[in-house]
Structure 1
Amino acid sequence: MMAGYQVHNRQGRYVGAASAFGMILLSIFHMGFYAASASEPTYSFMRNATEAPAVSYYDYIIVGGGTAGCPLAATLSQNYSVLLLERGGSPYGNPNITNLAAFGAAMSDLSLSSPSQRFISEDGVINSRARVLGGASCLNAGFYTRASPEYVRDAGWDGNLVNESYQWGERKVAFEPTVRQWQAAVRDGLMEVGVQPYNGFTYDHIYGTKIGGTIFDEAGNRHTAADLLQYANPTGITVLLYASVHKILFGTRGTSRPVVHGVTFRDSRGIKHRAYVRPGGASEVIVSAGAIGSPQLLMLSGVGPADQLRAHNISVVLDQPLVGQGMSDNPMNAIFVPSPSPVEISLIQVVGITQFGSYIEAASGENFAGGSSARDYGMFSPKIGQLSTVPPKQRTPEVLAKAVEAMSALDAAAFRGGFILEKIMGPLSTGHLELRTRDVDDNPSITFNYFKDPEDLRRCVQGISTIERVIESRSFVNFTYDYFSMQQLLNMTVNSPINLLPKHRNSSTSLEQYCRDSVMTIWHYHGGCQVGKVVDRDYKVLGVDALRVIDGSTFNSSPGTNPQATVMMLGRYMGVQILNERLAREGSD
């Protein structure tokens, strides 16, 4: 039900030009000379999987300590024993995760110990998936914003519990950002071109322009879903790191319907362990491995399209052809705006929520363009795969390496400026996921079919056109050169200051072609185990007992402008629902 889900706006304050002293302090912070002390939680219940017994029993086993898995585990631990299995390590003590100024460094790390695992979709777009406690909240740009009331209603969620669940997480991880010159210019430009009204600072999803929340605190320290484990009952939870789940274990209860008994996982030494749910009928395995990991694990365990499973010599537990279907990734297209004067370093703070289905956002500062020194790991750096000087399928490792080399040789002045980007709502275009191998550590084959639906392409064109008007607005005059036209920005070549925008053979590039050629990911992929297709409204896997999937793989569309707040909310929300249902059932026995 939708009851109780209200919009509660908070007016944001305008932060004008910073004083010279303030800007010096800001610069020192971002160069790494200032290190704020971050209080990082220490968990007595967190240990390496090498310490796990060969066999163990729990009321709930959660596969994936990510954005949904952490709040879910913390909630269930209040009344029952919980095992949380995370294939990666801890985010704490890793400055590439915790520091805003190092954004993107983790995604450029291609080692097996990296908190990020790179994959390339069949569309040719380079992407990343999380491999760390806290999941994608350890890697993302930090923007925090809720889903719309309509999204909540369509999901069938209880509005009062949705509000309470958002607020539960926000007390630990969400903050109001300080808006400086670049973000303020984007905000004012959006309003000037008609993306109205201005809704101030708010977590809520409302048409118009707003300042959203952030998971970076005032000192630039990231707070992640792993911080929500502070809510856990330390005597009711065990968190195992470097625990790679290879298979869900099935049996029967005297019927032909499969029932889950537990999981097998391997530690970092390759030693196999088994964890079982306690007998009695109410205990469950809950998969929260993300939009890639969850459908992949179901397939590897025998739940998925029978023909595909047999092709990999996997015993079919349940022929479920919709596992891995409905995969979507919201396409992102961006325009670099060179500035005649330095701009602050900022991640996503302002968003324009348009009526036509495109979200306009912005990032600024040297390290978000890529290059050398502090600019190595930007939001649009080829080091993390964000390269659109060539169409997606031409973004080979050799091309990426040449782009990194070329950008590293440029003067710092070439990186002055920022990006204005647009993301497509939804999207309507969908694809699919298929197994490549039987190894859970290997990436499956993923196809997103960007812009397959013409409505997505239309929204991209309108989004780019809106960005054009923002750049040409009076509010943006201090951040643009008089002699740069919009067409010149669209047609920058590899020899231009920023190696971002695609090189075309002529000067008349259609916006439709620009959208196709310059598409990148904003890391908001979802689907594969969707509600109504693979799981029911209670996130129970259809046709199977004692198994749920609770994460972004269940979404039919991306919630709000950025999904992390809603994924965290869902973990808490479903934890409360499961507790309430089980406690009520046990009370009546």
Structure 2
Amino acid sequence: MEEFDFIVIGAGSAGCVLADRLSADGRNKVLVLEAGGSDRKFFIKMPIGYGKLFYDEKVNWKYETEPVDGLAGRTSYWPRGRVIGGSSSINAMCYVRGLPSDFNDWRDMGNPGWGWQDVLPYFKRSETFVDRDGNSHGGGPLYVSDVYRDMHPLKEHYKAAAREMGLPVSDSMIDDPEGIGFYQINTKNGVRCSAADAFLRPAMKRGNVKLESNAEVTRVLLDGKMATGVEYVQGGVRFKAAARREVIVSGGAINSPKLLQLSGVGPSDLLRKHGIEVVLDQKNVGANLQDHLGISYFYRATVPTLNNQLTPWWGKLLLGMRYVLTRSGPLSLSVNQGGGFVKSDEKQKRPNLQLYFNPISYRTETSGERRLMHPDPYPGFIMSFQPCRPSSRGHLEIRSGNPVDKPAIHPNYLSTNQDIEDVIAGGRLIQRMAGTPTIQKLVKAAEGPDVSTMNDEEIVQDFRERSGSIFHPVSTCMMGPDPQSSVVDSKLRVHGLERLRIVDASVFPTVTSGNTNAPTIMVGQKAAEEILSGC
């Protein structure tokens, strides 16, 4: 059995950071195990290509929740990256740190060292910003590009509507997150910059990092209450590897609690039900699940949109040639262009809604493909919102002792009055935006349910029937000081076990207000610092 100082389970957003940082001084021998395969695929590297990856089982776990009462009995589809780079290889690339108050909340929940001023240096350590003029700022390996100049001209309508509503307008949704703005994205010279590109590939140039892909970890090896290594399957063959210092689980908010449960760490009744020996009775493994829900409203436009460029075959051909030759144009961008964090009314102490404005419209029903490059055959656009901080909490649990079986996911969406109130507030805000003079001139007709005509009950019912995950699951191995209510401590060490740490979005005490990839990378940076300092 081969030995390593550290074994990192999962080459996703946090795992790639850990591989880089833990191997940097050349002294530590690091094994990275990834269930998926290569990320060297055209539709991963081309930014708008993520629509092709949305249902691609070659790079995607393709999770589906159990039916949800709050969604009128519907299930919810959850794509997660099963590929080198994890979900950073298949996401929409929006780089959003979150609101400073999100992290102050974490600190105030009993997690010292996790306030905004504490975590900001770890964000900055990763980042190199490319501004609108092409100038680079910062020395981190993860590129964050301001692509405002390349965005569709429809952006000016969105900005004008915000001003007509009296909403603040932000030039940088990273430095000044409150207000209407335009998303900076993880691209470098028109190509996706994933966690694998930024962190893992530099680490792989060192002789002390070993990456095993298509290697699915089946359990953490425990000697009493001490993690000693892992067992994994690769090519149908079972292997074991030993860890001299630590095993670090970075499988994400679904796979990390699943692996702990399979390893005998979880609710004892659940484990015994599936014939798994209980090493640690820990009811919070898989509990406290949170996720963002959002809804889109579709409109026919009176002016050309991205639909006009991408609908005809010759339009696709021209844009494809432009991308191949110059790495520029609409294919070098995300379709999530406008957005922002806003307060629904003056009573709110901080933004409670995240917005999206896309200069394209496409069908979003589960159809085997997110049709970003096959939009509606008429000019169209989308306005969307998601409540920032849902209070509902769900859970997930293994279905059996077989590692191949996907877990049962119960998100418990819309189970609190606060979440319902936020849905109504979001619908009302979109009504206000749709009623501005600028948007009125832009809209030829609403396509599908028209939020402008809905009362509060109809807004909620429409949300129950059409909303979907924004793909930000977190908190299933929650950080906190008390083992009775959390899984890891503020150093991300598993309560009650030795030499086992969890480093990914599953440790978030609460979901951040926006996209979760940037905070997950930050968690990887901060955890690496703690590990290297001997904590």
TM-score grouping bracket, smaller chain normalisation: 0.7 to 0.9
Which residue does the alignment assign to 1:25?
Answer: none
Q: Could you tell me how far 1:559 is from its partner in structure 2?
A: 1.9
Which residue does the alignment assign to 2:271?
Answer: 309
* 1:127/1:523 contact within 8 Å kept: yes
CA pair 305-205 structure 1, distance change in 2 beyond 3 A: farther
1:116-137 Cα distance to aligned partner (Å, 9 max, x none): 4332343211221210111111
Which residue does the alignment assign to 2:145?
Answer: 175
SS of the residue aligned with 1:248?
Answer: strand
What letter corresponds to residue 263 of structure 1 in structure 2?
V
Asked if residue 270 in structure 1 is aligned to residue 236 in structure 2, the reply is: yes
* 1:294/1:553 contact within 8 Å kept: yes
Q: Could you tell me how far 1:194 is from its partner in structure 2?
A: 2.9
Of 82, 85, 110, 1:134 maps to 85
Asked if residue 535 in structure 1 is aligned to residue 523 in structure 2, the reply is: no
* 2:287/2:396 contact within 8 Å kept: yes
1:502-555 Cα distance to aligned partner (Å, 9 max, x none): xxxx99971111111111111111121001201111110001000011111111
Distance in 2 (alpha carbons) for counterparts of 1:90 and 1:487: 39
What letter corresponds to residue 75 of structure 1 in structure 2?
R
Asked if residue 237 in structure 1 is aligned to residue 209 in structure 2, the reply is: yes
CA pair 205-56 structure 1, distance change in 2 beyond 3 A: farther
Of 546, 549, 559, 2:499 maps to 546
Distance in 1 (alpha carbons) for counterparts of 2:470 and 2:422: 16
Which residue does the alignment assign to 1:186?
Answer: 158
Q: Could you tell me how far 1:211 is from its partner in structure 2?
A: 2.5
Over aligned residue pairs, what C-alpha RMSD do you find?
2.6
Q: Could you tell me how far 1:350 is from its partner in structure 2?
A: 2.5
Of 441, 446, 468, 1:520 maps to 468
Unaligned runs of at least 5 residues, structure 2:
69-74, 107-112, 129-141, 307-329, 345-351, 481-485
* 2:55/2:79 contact within 8 Å kept: no
SS of the residue aligned with 2:302?
Answer: coil
Q: Could you tell me how far 1:173 is from its partner in structure 2?
A: 2.7
1:427-483 Cα distance to aligned partner (Å, 9 max, x none): 1011111111222232100111111111111111111221122222223245311xx
* 2:298/2:446 contact within 8 Å kept: no
What letter corresponds to residue 44 of structure 2 in structure 1?
I
Q: Could you tell me how far 1:181 is from its partner in structure 2?
A: 1.9
Distance in 2 (alpha carbons) for counterparts of 1:231 and 1:100: 21
1:79-103 Cα distance to aligned partner (Å, 9 max, x none): 31111110001212x1221212322
Which stretch has the larger CA shift, 135-144 or 98-107? 98-107
Q: Could you tell me how far 1:487 is from its partner in structure 2?
A: 9.0
CA pair 522-384 structure 1, distance change in 2 beyond 3 A: farther
Question: Identity over the aligned pairs, expressed in percent?
Answer: 28
Of 319, 341, 356, 2:303 maps to 341
SS of the residue aligned with 2:80?
Answer: strand
Distance in 1 (alpha carbons) for counterparts of 2:34 and 2:66: 24
1:318-355 Cα distance to aligned partner (Å, 9 max, x none): 00011111111211111011113331355223223122
CA pair 491-211 structure 1, distance change in 2 beyond 3 A: closer
Distance in 1 (alpha carbons) for counterparts of 2:449 and 2:80: 34
Q: Could you tell me how far 1:163 is from its partner in structure 2?
A: 3.0
Which residue does the alignment assign to 2:14?
Answer: 68
1:372-405 Cα distance to aligned partner (Å, 9 max, x none): xxxxxxxx3522588xxxxxxxxxxxxxxxxx9x
Which residue does the alignment assign to 1:201?
Answer: 172
Q: Could you tell me how far 1:226 is from its partner in structure 2?
A: 0.5
Which stretch has the larger CA shift, 537-546 or 338-347? 338-347
Distance in 2 (alpha carbons) for counterparts of 1:327 and 1:437: 20
Aligned pairs for 1:403-422 (under 5 A) are 414-422=377-385
* 1:195/1:352 contact within 8 Å kept: no
1:182-212 Cα distance to aligned partner (Å, 9 max, x none): 233223323322332x221241363222223
Of 321, 326, 330, 2:288 maps to 326
* 1:535/1:549 contact within 8 Å kept: yes
Of 100, 103, 119, 1:152 maps to 103
Distance in 1 (alpha carbons) for counterparts of 2:402 and 2:175: 41
Distance in 2 (alpha carbons) for counterparts of 1:575 and 1:384: 38
Q: Could you tell me how far 1:239 is from its partner in structure 2?
A: 1.1
Asked if residue 287 in structure 1 is aligned to residue 249 in structure 2, the reply is: yes
Asked if residue 115 in structure 1 is aligned to residue 38 in structure 2, the reply is: no
Asked if residue 468 in structure 1 is aligned to residue 431 in structure 2, the reply is: yes
Distance in 2 (alpha carbons) for counterparts of 1:75 and 1:314: 34
Q: Could you tell me how far 1:216 is from its partner in structure 2?
A: 3.0
Which residue does the alignment assign to 1:224?
Answer: 194
What letter corresponds to residue 236 of structure 1 in structure 2?
N
Unaligned runs of at least 5 residues, structure 1:
1-54, 253-257, 371-379, 387-403, 493-505, 583-589
1:131-176 Cα distance to aligned partner (Å, 9 max, x none): 0111111111111011222223333326566333222322233111
